[in-house]
Amino acid sequence: MLEKTTRMNFLFDFYQSLLTPKQKKYMSLYYIDDLSLGEIAEQYSVSRQAVYDNIKRTEAVLEQYEEKLQLFAKFRERKKLIRHIKDLLQRENLAESKKEIERLVEQLENME
Amino acid sequence: MLEKTTRMNFLFDFYQSLLTPKQKKYMSLYYIDDLSLGEIAEQYSVSRQAVYDNIKRTEAVLEQYEEKLQLFAKFRERKKLIRHIKDLLQRENLAESKKEIERLVEQLENME
């Protein structure tokens, strides 16, 4: 469940500009502010089921965008490369790591 | 005109997965294969005006996606940082450039 929450937080972060204001609001209250379905329903005077359905639909929409644009997947791949480059920059003998750093920077450049 | 063509090529590259098959087809023939509006119209047995309208609308759709997601803008920013890092890696005394490379890698990491 935590894993799903983290994933939804990221997907929401990447694609929220493509959502409707209502989708954005419910998702933000549920995933960012950590409100329960009941609390959101009360706040908007709608049924708990209506909030649940809306959030489930929005989650599916976010997954569809990710399937098409892969922003989260690419983000994770870039992070991994950058972390690796940062590690190599900390090595004692930088000249020795140069080739490897260059290779990683190249990979980063070709990732788009 | 060339500048606009280049921009549309990039936007199409980034967002084509969000277009309808027809939008994708016309844009690809016009911007990638460099066919004229008349040639596309003939190929699909529609009016030149219909092709023109479709392409204009799709261009606007691509610009709207870019306004929301900024994939092309971020791509250009990343390219600039990467080019700068690559230049620094070519310097004679790598140890001297280390701080600057680290700063740029940090910037790259915080860009998302």
Q: In the predicted model, is pLDDT for residue A2 greater than 70?
A: no
Instruction: Identify the pLDDT of residue B2.
Output: 65
What does residue B91 show for φ and ψ, rounded to 5 degrees?
-60, 150
Task: Read off the pLDDT of residues B17-55 as tens digits, 9 standing for 90 and up.
Answer: 999 999 999 999 999 999 999 999 999 999 999 999 999
Q: How far is B48 from chain A (nearest CA, A)?
A: 31
Please compute Rg for chain B using Cα positions.
20
Q: Which residues on chain A are in Cβ contact (under 8 Å) with B82?
A: 105, 108-109
Quick check: A108 and B80 in contact, CB under 8 A?
Answer: no
Using a CB–CB cut-off of 8 Å, the residues of A that contact B are: 15, 17-18, 68-69, 71, 75, 78-79, 82, 85-86, 89, 94-95, 98, 101-102, 105, 108-109, 112
Task: Read off the pLDDT of residues A24-47 as tens digits, 9 standing for 90 and up.
Answer: 999 999 999 999 999 999 999 999
Instruction: Identify the pLDDT of residue B94.
Output: 86
Q: DSSP 3-state helix, strand, coil percentages of chain B (rounded to 5)?
A: 85, 0, 15
Using a CB–CB cut-off of 8 Å, the residues of B that contact A are: 15, 17-18, 68-69, 71, 75, 78-79, 82, 85-86, 89, 94-95, 98, 101-102, 105, 108-109, 112
Rounded to whole angstroms, how far apart are CA atoms B47 and B44? 9
Q: What is the pTM of this model?
A: 0.90
Residue B31: half-sphere exposure toward Cβ, Cα within 13 Å: 25
Quick check: B8 and B58 in contact, CB under 8 A?
Answer: no
Q: In the predicted model, is pLDDT for residue A53 greater than 70?
A: yes
Q: Which residues of B8-45 are buried (b: 16+ CB within 10 A; e: fewer)?
A: bebbbebbbebbeeebeebbebbbeeebebeebbeeee
How many residues are present in chain B? 112
Mean pLDDT of chain B: 94
- Tell me the average pLDDT across A63-91: 95
Which residue reads 């399937």 in tokens? A67
Rounded to whole angstroms, how far apart are CA atoms B108 and B112? 8
Quick check: B86 and A59 in contact, CB under 8 A?
Answer: no
This model of the complex carries an ipTM of 0.87
Coil, helix or strand at residue B87: helix
Q: What is the DSSP letter of B29?
A: I
Task: Read off the pLDDT of residues A92-108 as tens digits, 9 standing for 90 and up.
Answer: 888 889 999 999 999 99
Tell me what percent of the residues of chain A surpass a pLDDT of 70: 98
Structure tokens at B41: 């119209």
Q: In the predicted model, is pLDDT for residue A79 greater than 90?
A: yes
- Tell me the average pLDDT across A7-11: 96
Quick check: A65 and B15 in contact, CB under 8 A?
Answer: no
Quick check: B58 and B19 in contact, CB under 8 A?
Answer: yes
Tell me what percent of the residues of chain B surpass a pLDDT of 90: 88
